[in-house]
Amino acid sequence: MWVELVILIFTLISLGFLYFHLAQRRHAAFWSSKNIPFVQKGTTWSELLTWKKTMFDQNYYAELKKIGAKFGGVYEQGSHALFVNDPDLLRAVFVKDFDHFEDRRDVKTTDPMMSKMLVALHGQEWKAMRSFLSPTFTSGKLRRMFAQFNSSGKRLETHVGNIPVNPETGCHVVTIPELARRFTVDVIGATVFGIETGALSEPDPIFYRLATRAVKPSKFLIMKFLVFIFAPKIATLLKIKAFDAEVINYFKGILSTALKQREASKEKRDDFLQLMVEARHEGKGEKSENGDKTAMSMSDDSIMAQCFLFFFAGFDTVANLVSLSCYVLAVNPELQEKVRENVEAAVESTGGEVTYDSASKMDYLDMFIAETQRMYQSQPRLERKCTKAWKVPGSDFVVPSGMIVMTDPEAFHFDPAYYPNPEQFDVERFSPENKAKRNPYVYLPFGLGPRNCIGMRFGLIEAKVAIAHLVKTFEILPTPKTPIPIKMDRVFSVSKAPADLEICLKFRSKQE
């Protein structure tokens, strides 16, 4: 019995090695036959499954740049893909010839609600949904929602004040990723679901607990996502769900009750749910195909799916940005003072209140956030799937339909050709003059083109409100446990502030 088992394992491992060897040869032969430079080795399944590497550890950018190539072939988990490391080519793929690249990689889901999310839609369906949703993110709509952002900002201050103070240092010591997540859950709860979540007023409310559970990194979660991305058929066969049932059912329940209440009472509120219900009643969300208008069904399920997506796409990303911003401020007191001066000058005309208009005047804070996002790019990849064969400009190579075209935002952000001394934190890189001198396609925190991050402005305003409230009221300081320099957590290759990142928030008035 044991002998048979050992033989079986040995045979399987040998077959695995043989498969990878042949796959690498096939990869090399494919790109060589097209006369296209290529990166020989991608991350293998065995490296992924033994946690030796993450999917995005391969520095394709540097390898291709070294040989002077603007693009090249890569091979990942069984497929040929094209990597782009030239900003003009990026513009061609992501913006100019977007009609060839409307989709992202297929990520199959067995959950009917999740398959209706904007992020999972393709082609015409995506276009129709994106144009239905885009008006909910205009500056007018964000202005309408702003009061909710500011209320959360005030609750954030109170919450910190309620954290026991160290009598010797005057510090309210906080784990900043947790604090920032409480803030973003509070904002998104109010602006997406239209409810008070208690994230900043109760120790462990269920809304906050389940939201954090859904994004809590674990090897199991990573495995699930790998299967979704690279083996969608297996995910369908095994009925693997992205989120656990308790999380989905809880949020679905809240949304479905809220939706029924809105429809029944015609109550008007300033949140996404309301905006989508209004848009549905106004008959928006119609798609125009070949000139014919086809009514786009905006079912309850569809509305709930988008709310659910905004929640999960929005709360951890913004919390991470707020955490890293606070970290940078804590370890750079002079920079912190400049940000504070900018915030205080902006709120002077509004009696110290952070309003939509005063926030728009915080230009130095904008520059600071932009540099924070350059230094700490969270998303490891931008990808599009070619949907119509496309000839690479200046080359004979035709990208076949179905091929993934990708790039690495962080590699652009750290290329000294675009950002001299890239390791140095320098807010002035984002002054209007310096920005104007740089190719805009080398700054990619929110992606690029018509399928970029729909929540960009929402996320930036939200982060600004949190930082403005904190610097206005507190001095932000490192504690003996604050790491200098910081080592980012790589969760499924998404870069995040370490979960235990600690800083001190000290009331300014008490210090003076």
Residues annotated in a binding site for heme: 453
CB-wise, 31 or 312, nearer to ligand HEM?
312
Least Å distance, CB 463 to ligand HEM, is 6
Least Å distance, CB 247 to ligand HEM, is 18
What are the residues binding ligand HEM (CB under 6 A)? 118-119, 130, 309-310, 313-314, 317-318, 321, 378-379, 382, 445-448, 451-455, 458-459
CB-wise, 38 or 308, nearer to ligand HEM?
308
Please report, for residues 95, 113, 299, 475, the alpha-carbon distance to residue 123 in angstroms, rounded to integers and kept in the order given.
Answer: 15, 18, 19, 49
CB-wise, 153 or 459, nearer to ligand HEM?
459
Burial class from Cβ neighbours inside 10 Å (0-12, 13-18, 19+) for residue 292 reads exposed
Least Å distance, CB 320 to ligand HEM, is 7
Among candidate residues 241, 234, 253, 138, the one with its CA nearest the CA of residue 193: 253
Q: How many other CB atoms are there within 10 angstroms of residue 234's CB atom?
A: 12
Least Å distance, CB 122 to ligand HEM, is 10
Least Å distance, CB 133 to ligand HEM, is 8
404-417 per-residue burial string, b: 16 or more CB within 10 A, e: under 16: bbbbbbbbbbbbee
DSSP string over 147-211: HHHHHHHHHHHHHHHHSPPBTTTTBEEEEHHHHHHHHHHHHHIIIII-S---TTTSSS-HHHHHH
CB-wise, 31 or 61, nearer to ligand HEM?
61
Alpha helix positions (H), 272-299: 272-281
CB-wise, 54 or 379, nearer to ligand HEM?
379
- Contact by Cβ (8 Å): 473, 507: yes
Residue 147 to residue 480: CA distance in whole angstroms: 36
CB-wise, 134 or 158, nearer to ligand HEM?
134
Q: Which tokens is 330 given?
A: 């804590």
Least Å distance, CB 452 to ligand HEM, is 4
Residue 39 to residue 472: CA distance in whole angstroms: 49
CB-wise, 412 or 446, nearer to ligand HEM?
446
CB-wise, 99 or 202, nearer to ligand HEM?
99
Residue 322 to residue 271: CA distance in whole angstroms: 22
Least Å distance, CB 68 to ligand HEM, is 26
Burial class from Cβ neighbours inside 10 Å (0-12, 13-18, 19+) for residue 14 reads exposed
Least Å distance, CB 160 to ligand HEM, is 21
CB-wise, 34 or 104, nearer to ligand HEM?
104
Least Å distance, CB 369 to ligand HEM, is 9
User: Which residue do the tokens 């870069």 mark?
Assistant: 495
Residue 82 to residue 391: CA distance in whole angstroms: 12
Please report, for residues 305, 457, 473, 503, 506, the alpha-carbon distance to residue 470 in angstroms, rounded to integers and kept in the order given.
Answer: 33, 20, 5, 12, 10
Residue 259 to residue 278: CA distance in whole angstroms: 11
CA 440, 446, 452, 455 torsion-angle sign: negative
CA 125, 128, 130, 132 torsion-angle sign: negative
DSSP state of 432: H
CB-wise, 141 or 159, nearer to ligand HEM?
141
Q: What's the alpha-carbon Rg for the chain, to the nearest Å?
A: 24
Name residues whose C-beta falls within 8 Å of residue 239's C-beta, 6 or more positions apart in sequence: 110
Name the binding residues. Answer: 453
CB-wise, 321 or 505, nearer to ligand HEM?
321
- Contact by Cβ (8 Å): 84, 92: no
Least Å distance, CB 317 to ligand HEM, is 4
Least Å distance, CB 252 to ligand HEM, is 18
- Contact by Cβ (8 Å): 383, 405: yes
